[in-house]
Chain A
């Protein structure tokens, strides 16, 4: 899901992704200090921390949400982050809130679409 800045990512977007069946969510923002909007990525990090707390208390596990900071020139690091997150989520197993049943039938796997593309 593309957003103009990670500062746009509201906490509810993260929770909805998990509610809709995502096993994990990670935000990739600009390097700290390099935000075009000054503090968007710093705000996003705080929201990720809050989302972790909420997911921990609801028993889903805060480890399913992470924040990465990269520059637009770090394609390799981007791929690394994706691999790292994939491995982490594999180790954690499927989202426990996913409805039981054969894959693709119970769990809703809808991708979040920007409301105003």
Chain B
């Protein structure tokens, strides 16, 4: 899922300064699962905004709404009656959702309330960790389900590097070395021969280095 973090309250209030009627728009997808921008977070932030404005004696009307999926124009356009009534939209979706809403309502100022952080999975209740960078060429079969692109600080393909100490990464003593994890797993599964295959230099053109990416499935197009 896409993992996001709510922006500092001060930054949000600063962006909202000129506006009195705000539509606070959540998303029922990834940001709900990572507790950053679902219906619950919408109600909490709306309450905080109202309290802050009331304290300063500045009128505000905050409408709360959560879309099924903000990154889909079909859902984004559903909010039209609410968007029409507001001065600005404060979106709690990831960057994709914010852009879809901004695209759907071109005359409306759309403000992001979260910082989209990474693609990750939940390790335990309340803890999310980065697990994928969308490099466009998955090699998890060779590394037995541990991604060196996202989990190794250097994204190296023939590790570990000299900074791996006692199974931990040099950038953080609490961060396991991805290549140590890969080697441990290869040993566990008796597949160490895979470790001996030298990986060629990665072609990063499938990643962000090739510019914004696009996927088309012609059979699905209308």
Chain A contacts to B: CB under 8 angstroms:
10-12, 15-16, 18-19, 54-55, 57-60, 96-100
Contacts and interface: CB of A to CB of B under 8 A. Distances in A.
* B: interface residue count bin: 10 to 19
A110 B169 CA distance: 54
B50 interface: yes
B44 interface: yes
B10 interface: yes
Given A98-B54, A100-B57, A58 B44 contact: no
26 contacts: A11-B44, A12-B40, A12-B43, A15-B44, A15-B47, A16-B47, A18-B51, A19-B47, A19-B50, A54-B9, A54-B44, A57-B10, A58-B9, A58-B51, A58-B52, A58-B55, A59-B51, A59-B52, A59-B56, A60-B52, A60-B55, A96-B55, A97-B51, A97-B54, A98-B54, A99-B54
Given A55-B51, A97-B55, 6 more contacts: A12-B47, A15-B48, A19-B47, A19-B54, A59-B51, A60-B52
Prevailing SS type, chain B contact patch: helix
A15 B64 CA distance: 15
Interface in B28-67: 40, 43-44, 47-52, 54-57
Interface of B: 8-10, 40, 43-44, 47-52, 54-57
Contacts of A100: 57
Contacts of A96: 54-55
Nearest to B48: A58
A57 B10 CA distance: 7
